[in-house]
A and B are shown apart, each in its own frame.
Chain A
C-alpha cells in the first residue's frame, strides 16, 4: 500500500507539472553594440595621420554599430565612452561626439573623431571605445550574432602621427616581409597608397595581385639600392622583399 501511494503521488506530480508553454516574447530595454564581420574584420583598427596624402589635423573613423532589440520610430541616444586600457586623452587626441541611432534604423556608423597632436609624432596611443548605457539604449549583448558577424561592446583604435603597423600586416607578411616603418613607407612611396588590406581581411587586394606586388617592390628596391645603397629600417636591418 505504501508503494502504491508513492506511485500515485508521483503520477499526480508529473501530471500537475504539465503546463502550456507561454508564448515566448522578449521584453527588456533595447541595446546597442559595435559589430564586425567574422574573419574578415576584427574588433580593432589602426590609423595613422601619415596615411593622408593631404595633411590633416583631425580625421573621422567610422565604426559600425547595430541595434540589439526592436526598431523604434524615434531616434535614440547612443553613449560611447573611453574604456579601461585607453592611453589617448579625450579632447587632445580624440572626441567622442554625441550621436543617435536614427529612427527606424537597425545600424549606424559612429563617427569617432581623431585629433593629430604633436605628441603623436613620437608615440602611438590607444583608445578603447566602450558602449555605456544611455537613456535610450543599454549595452547590447556581445558575441557571435550570426554565422558571419560578431557583436562587441568594446572597439580598439590605435593611432599616431607616425606610420603605425596596420592591423592586417600579419596576413600579408608572407608576401612582403615582417613589418618595419621603413618597409611600410617604401611600399607607400612605390604604390602611392597606404591601404594594403588583403581581400581576406575586408580589403580588395587578392592573391593574384600580391604575387605581382612583391615583384614590383623588388624592382623598386633594386632601383633604390642602385641609387642610394641598401635600404635600412629603423632597427638597422636591411629591407628586402621575398622572391
Chain B
C-alpha cells in the first residue's frame, strides 16, 4: 500500500514541478494591413505591347516594410482551386516582374490570364495578394476575315475590331506558302484550346493559327480521305466543344475539338444513301448536330462525337408545321435568330418559305410560312438574322431587304449604288459561348464589289431593324473581289 502512495506522490510532484511562472515577455503589435488599389476592369493588351499597372498602396501602419513585390500570371486551369491563397498557389505561373509597378512587354501566348500582385512585408513576412483579369490578344485578336479573289489569287484580309485593316495576312505571315485553287471561304474556329482559321479553296482546306495566321496544316493531310474538289464549303464547331465539322459538296466530315483529342477529319459522315447537306450547321441541346439534306428534303441529326447521321421519325402528330423527316423543300439559306431558333429560307416548285427549327426543343419544327410578301426573294442567296428580333435580312444585287418573321412581310432597308454588288452579308454576333459585345446584333456587315474594288461596310441598325441614319457607319476598301466574310471571334 505504501509503495502505491509513493508512486502516485512522485507523479503528482513531477507534474507540479513542471509548472513554471510565465514571464510574459511578449509585445503585442497591430499587424500592418495593406490596401491595394489597381485596375477596376479587365486589363487588355495586345501581344508584345506593354502591360502597365501602377497600383496605389496604402498601409495601416505607416513606416512599415520594406516590401518586396511580385507580379505573376497564370491561367485558371493552373489553379488547384478557385480560391488562391499563399498555401494554395497556382501550380504554374510566370513571374513578370518584382518591381512595385508593372511595366513589362506582354510576351505570353495570347489568351486569358489572371495577373497576381503579391506584396511581402519583409519585417513580418506577411504577404498580401490581389488578382486582376488579364487578356493578352494576338495581333489578330478579333475581327472580320475578308476572303477575296485578287487577280486570280486567294487573298485573306483582316479587319480588326478596332478598325485596323491587315491585307493579305496569310501571305505576310507565311512567305512562300501558296494556296492552290480558286478562293472560296474562310471560317474561324474558336473554342477552348481551339484557335484556328480554316481557309477553303476549290482544291482543299488550309488551316492557320487564328492568332498570327501561321500555317498549321492542310488537306489532304488533315483528312482521312481527300475532299477535293471543294464545293460550297462550311466549317462549324458545336456548342458543347466536342466536334468540328467541315462541309464540302454536300458531304460532312468531322473531328474532335483539340480538348477532346487529336485526329484527322473522318470519312464522309455515314447517313441515308445519297444525302447532300446544305452547307449550314445548326445546333441545340436536344439536337447537337443538325443539317438539312437537300436531296432527301429532310433534316438529319447526329449526337456529338458521332460520325453518323440519323433521320427523324415520321411525324404523326397534328398541329406541327412540318415533318422534320419529310420537309419536301430545298434549302437556299439561313441564319440563327433569337433563342436558338434558326430561320431557314426554303423553296419548292410553287413558292418560297420561311422555315424555322428549334434544336433546343424535343420537337424542333417551328414555322413554315410562305414568303409571299418578300420582294425578289427568288433571287436571294445571302441571309443574316438578328438574335434579338425575329428579323431576317436578305440581299439581292445591290439591295438589302428586311423580312419581318412575325409580320411575314419584307421591306427594302438599304440600297448600294447600282454597280456595287453585294457579295456577302453577315450580322455581327457572337457564338453561343464566349465573350459578349454590346454591339452584337446591332450591326449588319456587308461585303460588296464594284468590278474593281471590294469594300466592307458596317450598317448600324435601329431596334426596328432599319439602318441608322440611312447610311453606313464605317467603310473599308482596297479588297479584291470579295467572295465571303466571316467573323473571327475573340479567344476564350
Residues of A within 8 A of B (CB): 1-4, 206-209, 211-212, 214-216, 218-219, 222, 226, 243
The contact sample of 14 A-B pairs, CB cut-off 8 A, is: A1-B3, A2-B3, A207-B256, A208-B261, A208-B263, A209-B263, A211-B256, A212-B224, A212-B254, A212-B267, A215-B266, A215-B269, A215-B308, A222-B270
Q: Is the interface of B mostly helix, strand, loop or mixed?
A: loop
A212 and B3 in contact, given A222-B270, A243-B302, A243-B308 (Cβ under 8 angstroms): no
CA distance A205 to B434 in the complex (A): 32
Q: Is the CB of B306 closer than 8 A to any CB of chain A? A: yes
Chain B interface residue count, Cβ-Cβ cutoff 8 angstroms = 25
**B307 near A211 (CB under 8 angstroms)?**
yes
Interface status of B127 (Cβ within 8 A of chain A): no
CB atoms of B260 and A208 under 8 A apart: yes
**Which of B261, B306, B308 is within 8 Å of A207, CB to CB?**
B261
Contacts of A243 in B (CB 8 A): 302-303, 306, 308, 310
A-B complex: 10 closest residue pairs judged by Cβ atoms: A215-B307, A208-B261, A208-B263, A218-B270, A212-B266, A3-B3, A208-B256, A243-B308, A207-B261, A216-B267
Q: Is B255 interfacial (CB-CB < 8 Å)?
A: yes
The verdict on B488 contacting chain A, using a C-beta distance below 8 Å, is no
Contacts of A2 in B (CB 8 A): 3
Contact residues of A: prevailing secondary structure: helix
Task: Tell me the complex Cα distance, A215–B302, Å.
Answer: 12
Cβ distance B165 to chain A, nearest Cβ, rounded Å? 37
- Which of A2, A208, A214 counts the most chain B CB atoms within 10 A? A208
Whole-angstrom distance between the alpha carbons of A150 and B257 in the complex?
35
User: Scoring B residues 388 to 408 as 1 if CB is less than 8 Å from chain A, else 0, what string do you get?
Assistant: 000000000000000000000
- Tell me if B307 and A214 are in contact (CB < 8 A): yes
A215 to B66, CA, bound (A): 66
Contact of B305 among A211, A216, A218, A219 (CB under 8 A): A211
Identify which of residues 241-261 in chain B touch chain A, using a CB-to-CB cut-off of 8 Å: 254-256, 260-261
**B302: which A residues are within 8 A, CB to CB?**
243
State the Cβ distance, A220 to closest chain B Cβ, in Å: 9
Chain B proximity of A92: nearest CB distance (Å)? 43
Q: B153 near A: Cβ within 8 Å?
A: no
Contacts A218-B308, A219-B270, A243-B302: A212 and B264 contacting too (C-beta < 8 A)?
Answer: yes
Distance between Cα atoms of A135 and B366 in the complex (Å): 82
For the complex, what is the distance from the CA of A243 to the CA of B302, rounded to whole Å? 8
Question: Are the C-beta atoms of B267 and A215 separated by less than 8 Å?
Answer: yes
Cα of A1 to Cα of B302 in the assembled complex, Å: 92
Q: Please give, as numbers and ranges, the residues of chain B lying within 8 Å of A214 by CB-CB distance.
A: 307-308
Q: State the CA gap A206–B305 with chains docked (Å).
A: 13
